[in-house]
Amino acid sequence: MPPIPTIELGTAGNKIRVSHIGLGIMGMSQVYGKTNDEESIKLLNHAIDIGCTFWDTSDIYGLGHNERLISRVLKGRRKDVFLCINLERLGTDYIDLYYQHRMDPKVPIEETMGALTELVKKGKIRYIGLSECTPEELRWAHKVHPVVAVQVEYSPWSTHIETNGVLDTCRELNVTVVAYSPLGRGFMSGKIRSIDDLDENGWRRNSPRFKPEHFENNLKLVDAFAKFAKKHDCTSSQLALAWLLIQEENLIVIPGTKQVKYLEDNFSAGNMKLSNEEIMKIREIVDSANIQGTRY
């Protein structure tokens, strides 16, 4: 497959190129049904082979299982991966990008950033990022130490960062946006046609947007994308990712998957071309969608 486009991340004098399309690894440990460690390891190694260098994980995924899983791959390929986030479980002595996940209202952000800055000085962290922050929090944090990335939900069915000031502030401060759930937790793939298609004990069954009272309405956006994708000879997922990447130049998307086929499909979206007319048409579809249910 063609090389995955890359993006420059970091601050002046301390920049690195990473894949424009990264990999969200949460689903290999929780949320989306049964998992298979050996298959996950094969997928992770294949991701490196095809050029994926930006991996996103957290110590809360699977109560540490996610990190232990990744450590089995990193043992021989650490330098091939730009790792976003417990040093111990990962079996590595440094983290490329450390996110402050959600802001603690009881702790001044200046104090949090001060502690992270010390870890940067000690070489334990290369870059600092924030997750689900407000524009004001980003500005305060950035004054203490450069914030290179903000992780936030962004997809055709979650465009709130375009209107709440987060995207504008990221542009102003030259902070990279890392879009998690860029496929709406799998909804934009078009493969989920009813509640019965969700894992019986999966988290999505309790997610407001997947609730029966909202499900049918929200399918309208998915169906519109599927119709458009068919004309473009691509999948709905590829169309959603390609369109999202066009919305913001300084953006990394981190779709997750447990199957090599979908991994390759997702990454090939980075090389898709859309005309200005197509981009505008998709924007009309997104803006007219009356998505129901809160994100959480």
**Catalytic residue list:** 61
Q: How many residues does the chain have?
A: 296
Which residue bears the tokens 């000031």?
Answer: 165
Count the neighbouring beta carbons within 10 Å of the beta carbon of residue 122. 9
Give Cβ neighbours of residue 273 (< 8 Å, ≥ 6 apart): none
Beta strands in 222-275 (DSSP E): 251-253
Torsion of CA 292, 183, 171, 272, to 10 degrees: -130
Of the candidates 49, 54, 93, which has an alpha carbon nearest to the alpha carbon of residue 71?
93
- The Cα–Cα gap between 114 and 120 comes to 10
As given in the structure block, the two tokens for residue 154 are: 């962004």
- The Cα–Cα gap between 14 and 224 comes to 42
